Amino acid sequence: MSLLSTIVLAAAEAKAPLFFPAWVFPMIAFLVFVTLGFVVYSFRDVANRHSHKTGHSPASGHTTDH
């Protein structure tokens, strides 16, 4: 087959229909990105909120005395 006939056959093939319109796919990606960003943002400063549990008490097992 020549290159021209290959191009014509490829152009004539039926394309598979999409489940959604084309603009929906970037919107889904954007919403996933925003959701994951919100999850990461919600865990900010978690270590400082619970510093009383991991404070400098000798009961924690991590002392600087060697």
pLDDT, tens digit (0-9, with 9 covering 90-100), for 55-66: 555 555 555 655
Of 51 and 31, more confident:
31
Predicted TM-score (pTM) of this structure: 0.51
Residues 10, 21: Cα–Cα separation, whole Å? 23
Q: How far is CA 41 from CA 7, 38, 44, 45, 56, in A?
A: 49, 5, 5, 9, 27
Helices assigned H by DSSP within the chain = 3-12, 24-42, 46-49
Is the pLDDT at 27 greater than 80? The verdict is yes
Average pLDDT over residues 43-54: 73
Per the CB < 8 A criterion, the answer to whether 38 and 31 are in contact is no
Q: How far is CA 61 from CA 33, 47, 49, 51, in A?
A: 40, 18, 20, 15
